[in-house]
Amino acid sequence: MYNQLLNKHTSLAVVGLGYVGLPIALELAKKISVIGFDINNDRVEKMKQGLDPCGELDNKSFIDTDILFTSSLEELSNASFYVIAVPTPIDDANMPDLKPLLSATKTVASVLKKGDYVVYESTVYPGCTEEDCVPLLEKISGLKYCNDFKVGYSPERINPGDKIHTLTNTVKIVSGCDEEALEIISKVYEIVVKAGVHRAANIKVAEAAKIIENTQRDVNIGLMNELSIICSRIGINTFDVLDAAGTKWNFLKFYPGLVGGHCIGVDPYYLVHKSHQLKYHPQIINSGRFVNDSMGGYIAKKLVKEMIKLGKNIMGAKVLVMGITFKEDVSDIRNSKVVDIIKELLDYGVSIDIIDPNANSDEVFNEYGLELIEKPNQIKYDTIVVAVSHREYYSLNEDYFKSLATQNAILADIKGIYRNSIKDMIYWSL
Ligand SMILES: NC(=O)c1ccc[n+]([C@@H]2O[C@H](COP(=O)([O-])OP(=O)(O)OC[C@H]3O[C@@H](n4cnc5c(N)ncnc54)[C@H](O)[C@@H]3O)[C@@H](O)[C@H]2O)c1
């Protein structure tokens, strides 16, 4: 398989060309023949023109690549090595929603041939690949797992907006259904991952490794958010506390903040689900989720209280929210917790303007029914919330905020980026 791919006697297909799938497909397509398959035709058409619908990669990334973008099952069937990178979201009850994963599995199963490889990259709970996906592959293809086709799991570690830790310079975890699969899959990823691969003991280990990476971040951020609630009651700044504590060699550098997006705020629920299946009720993981999911409401209530103390009339008070994406320097608004702050403030009758240099206004409207404005209105704001630390916001200073604000306005700096530079305004951060 490895030689056939290298000699371009067969192709590797990436199924699901989003934040994860497109970069891996393009990187591999510099060395081997790749089929980029996605069910979303609009996205496929954009990629055919050298455009990344996620806005992460520039046009240069498409140059000198051997890749066929398609939604056609017939074209997909020319591959022998399938990499599945479709979304693994949660539903309204915070339960794993495996619909896209199982649907992509069915697609691949329908074209699977003897000798083929299927590698999952989507984040899942330990056991999902072998217990949920493999039976479907076997049933639909009529082939026998491990004998007729091989399966592996290799989680993705890319971090949207991060230009330092990339696919090629970050060690990739690889696993396979047997020794042979592990070796071949590792060699295929080694074609592009210069940092090398870590051969995991088995598929469940690789699945668990990915889920604990994100769960660990979630729990640690939850701890910092809890600290921030306590610090606020004491009347001290959390970031000052963390600066001081961070001088110890083994103090971990985590900060309070909103945990949104489709990874850190989602993946722990996959682990919780697996744990429940095994009759264990995880306390720490759920506590982290509870604290982090509550932060939007907490921030909004805190601001309302502060405005009341300043004698402001909450009904119709004017608030400017700067940043609505789920994190800094990305355009992705999915599962943004800034929206929790906005919705809670709207519930109190506050009037809100929202700006963001990266978010697409149509997407924001379609997803949340909220309007983005181009730039702050001339009206004076009672509170300005810098909700996301986009790089464009770092150069702003107190004079800028004062020019937009009423006399006794609050600057709520969620990520604490201005905490040493605000002298006159009423300042609050997590
Ligand atoms: N985005 C990240 O930073 C990141 C990092 C590590 C891991 N992950 C994981 O990687 C997986 C993919 O995430 P993403 O952010 O790339 O998702 P995404 O939403 O950006 O992209 C998914 C793509 O899959 C396509 N798709 C959906 N169902 C399909 C199907 N049945 N067949 C073919 N294509 C289909 C969609 O049209 C879309 O283009 C998820 O499991 C996620 O948790 C994401």
We report the CATH number of the domain holding residue 33 as 3.40.50.720
- Please check whether residue 127 lies inside any domain of the structure: yes
Sheet of 351-355, strands arranged across: 351-355, 318-322, 381-386, 405-413, 426-429
pLDDT at position 158 is 86
Please check whether residues 239 and 195 belong to one and the same domain: no
| Mean pLDDT per 10-residue interval, the chain, length 430 residues | 96 97 97 98 97 91 97 97 97 96 98 98 98 98 98 92 89 98 98 97 98 97 98 96 97 96 95 98 98 98 97 96 96 95 98 97 97 92 97 96 96 95 95
Pick from 38, 45, 70 the residue to mutate for probing ligand 1's pocket: most ligand atoms within 8 Å of its CB. Answer: 38
188, 228: one domain:
no
Measured from the Cα of 267, ligand 1's closest atom is 43
Domain boundary at 170, 201, 232, which?
201
Is residue 267, in this structure, part of any structural domain at all? yes
User: Has residue 325 been placed in a domain?
Assistant: yes
How would DSSP label each residue in 252-288?
---------TTTTTTHHHHHHHHHHHTT---SHHHHH
What was the pLDDT predicted at 235? 95
| Ligand 1: lining residues by beta carbon, under 6 Å | 15-21, 37-40, 43, 54, 85-88, 100, 103-104, 107, 121-123, 156, 158, 160, 262-263
Residue 206 lies in a domain: no
Instruction: List active site positions.
Output: 263
Query: Domain span at residue 144?
Result: 2-201
**Total of domains in the chain:** 2
Q: Whose CA is nearest to atom 10 of ligand 1?
A: 122
Q: Is 348 among the domain residues? A: yes
86 CA → ligand 1 middle, Å: 4
d(CA 107, CA 35): 14
d(CA 267, CA 214): 7
Instruction: Judge if 366 and 225 occupy the same domain.
Output: yes
Among 201, 228, 256, the domain boundary falls at 201
Q: Sign of dihedral through CA atoms 73, 76, 77, 83? A: negative
- Asked whether residue 387 is assigned to any structural domain, the reply reads yes
User: Which atom of ligand 1 approaches the CA of 158 most closely?
Assistant: 5
Strands of the sheet with 79-84, listed across from one edge? 67-70, 34-37, 11-15, 79-84, 117-120, 150-153, 172-176, 197-199
179 and 249 fall within a common domain = no
Q: Could you give phi then psi for residue 14, rounded to 5 degrees?
A: -110, 125
Do 192 and 305 fall into the same domain? no
Give, for ligand 1, the residue of 86, 97, 140 to mutate: max count of ligand atoms closer than 8 Å to Cβ.
86
Mutation test residue for ligand 1: of 111, 128, 156, the one with most atoms within 8 Å of CB: 156
Q: What's the pLDDT at 160?
A: 77
Structure confidence at residue 269 (pLDDT) = 98
Residues in the chain: 430
Asked whether residue 192 falls in the same domain as residue 246, the answer is: no
Q: Same domain for 175 and 278?
A: no
pTM for this model (two decimals): 0.94
Other C-beta atoms lying within 10 Å of the C-beta of residue 277: 11
Residues 355, 406: one domain? yes
Q: In this structure, is residue 156 part of a structural domain?
A: yes
165 and 26 belong to one structural domain: yes
Beta strands in 177-221 (DSSP E): 197-199
In the chain, what's the furthest Cα-to-Cα distance? 74
pLDDT of residue 254: 97
- Does 424 lie in the same domain as 289? yes
Residues 103 and 341: their CA atoms lie apart, in Å, by: 34
Given 201, 233, 249, the domain boundary residue is 201
Shared domain for 298 and 149, answered yes or no, is no
pLDDT in the model for residue 282: 98
The rounded distance, in Å, linking the Cα atoms of 82 and 418 is 47
d(CA 134, CA 28): 25
Q: What radius of gyration, in Å, describes the C-alpha atoms of the chain?
A: 24
My answer on whether 175 and 324 are in the same domain is: no
Going from the Cα of 256 to the center of ligand 1, the distance in angstroms, rounded, reads 27
Q: Are strands 34-37 and 11-15 parallel, antiparallel or unpaired?
A: parallel
Q: Which amino acid is at 181?
A: A
Does residue 210 form part of some domain? no
pLDDT at 152 (0 to 100): 98
